[in-house]
Amino acid sequence: MSDLQKTFAKSKLASLPPEPPLREEEQEPDLEQQQTEDDSSSASSMSSTGTVVPTATQKPAPANTDWMRYFAQELYLEHSDGSAAGSPHTKYHVYVTPPATPKTPLIVLHHGAGSSALTWALCAREIRRMMPDVGILAVEAREHGSAVYEADGTRSTDMGLARLRGDLLAMLALTQARLGWAALPPLLLVGHSLGGAVVVDAARSGELGGAVIGYAILDVVEGSAMEVLGHMRTYLAGRPGIFRSVDAAVEWHVRSRTLRNPTSARASVPSLLVQTESGKFVWKTDLGRTEPFWSDWFTGMSSKFLSARGGKLLLLAGTDRLDKELMIGQMQGKFQLQVFPAAGHFIQEDLPDQTAQSIVEFLKRNDRSTLVLPPKVSDLLAQGKKI
């Protein structure tokens, strides 16, 4: 979100020329001339939350099997509290590559609003190239690929931060059960935009106990996020609402500079869409429906980021995004800051290699699983050694 701060002040988005919502009959630009790169990548769209559930006249965009290039497994984790017939139930969607051993860290990746787990595809692959044994868990929030149903069978539209935190914790617990882990491995929580707010809230809650090594957030701070929220309606009014094809949607993301990496865009953009009966494509997630929750997502985030236990990493696309509280914290050395001025809001997609490098270095500095402690004095005495 914070990537839009300056441009919203000028009443237009980044380098995107003003463009009214597209009508269904309008011609969308074709991307056939740009199809020279391999379809191996990840991308995401602008913030939004509130999935358009496919109906009889809608169906998901063509299946994107590229996830197999980046993750070992795709899991659908269903759960019901079982207290009575018609109890609330969930169907979570995650991608996972298990860690090599029970003590090897698991990097948990949470996307931003309106995005999907495949926003991390290229970054996740690069992390695994650098650290082949590390585990990766990329989750999808409710109304972004995961679904939560009320007791009466209706789909939950509650996108409050507490709910999203609960979903993240549930996905971790269900993944642990599905894969037969005796305990959670050491965790590094990583979140982009809204995902950053969710992982910080999870770390601050203490519900994961001592499993959390640290947490990293990408291009989101409380001050700039709250400022941008006042302009979201303007942005949504100017964003195309319909595309003739998946290729056209990919092309729009690249042309508008929402995403600056065409390779990445081809992997994740299909997961952001559903297809109508007419064959055209619309957004799977509707940001406007979540407006009541926007303030809740980011209020108090800076304080929670600074006070939660564990190592702290903040990756930004520009230093102007730091609010006062974080500026003070940064000067006091309370967290690590890295800036990528060549990236847009989607740092993990625009610069996946550099993002992965930062995450890996941060993990190595904070990973306690490889820490070798000196022997206890009592053990040395018991062995008859002189102290």
Residues with catalytic function: 193, 219, 345
Contacts of 195 (CB under 8 A, 6+ apart): 109, 110, 111, 112, 115, 141, 217, 218
* Strand residues in 37-167 grouped as ranges (E): 58-60, 73-80, 89-97, 106-110, 135-140, 147-149
Cβ pair 253, 28 in contact under 8 A:
no
Closest listed residue to residue 110, CA positions, set 150, 170, 58, 153: 170
| Euclidean distance between the first and the last CA atom of the chain, given in angstroms as a whole number | 58
Cβ pair 150, 86 in contact under 8 A:
no
Length of the chain: 387
- For β-strands 273-276 and 212-218, DSSP reports them as unpaired
Please, what sign has the CA dihedral across residues 324, 328, 329, 335? Answer: positive
Torsion angle, CA of 184/367/361/201, rounded to 10 degrees? 50
DSSP 33: G
Q: How far is CA 36 from CA 31, 33, 40, 44, 261, in A?
A: 10, 7, 12, 20, 13
